[in-house]
Amino acid sequence: MRKVRSFPTGTGLFNGLDLSGQQVALPGTSYPVEVWYDAPQPYTPVPPDPFTSALLVAASGAMTAGSALPLISLASAGLSFTTLVDSGATHDFISESLVQRLRLP
């Protein structure tokens, strides 16, 4: 890091707005101000989380023979259906036909 600039106590650094929306200078600072700069570092990729979203695996075609998606059979309202368990998902989805079969609003 390197110091770029110093401002003594009382320097007016900031502006504000009055009630009519006009720009006004605010009083000087009651303390000295130093501005420091730290140059950006080269990007270092971070390894991904130790799990991969099941939907991404299925979409990528990366499944091998004998592997399976984490599916669970459920029954509700007298109907049976299968769900995909995906702890890495940010959203939940349900098919329109299942909504109609379960008579959900």
Chain centroid to CA 94: how far? 23
Local confidence band at 65 (pLDDT 50, 70, 90 cut-offs): very low
Q: Report CA 6 to chain centroid distance, whole Å.
A: 36
In the chain, where the domains are located? 2-37, 54-59+68-102
Sign of CA dihedral 59, 60, 61, 65: negative
State the pTM of this model.
Answer: 0.37
CA distance linking residue 76 with residue 102, whole number of Å: 8
Taking the C-alpha atoms of residue 16 and residue 28, their distance in angstroms, rounded to an integer, is: 12
Contact between residue 75 and residue 44 where contact means Cβ atoms under 8 Å apart = no
pLDDT tens column, 18-56:
999 899 999 999 999 999 999 888 988 776 555 555 555
Cβ 38 vs Cβ 3: under 8 Å: no
Q: Which residues contact 5 (CB under 8 A, 6 or more apart)?
A: 34, 35
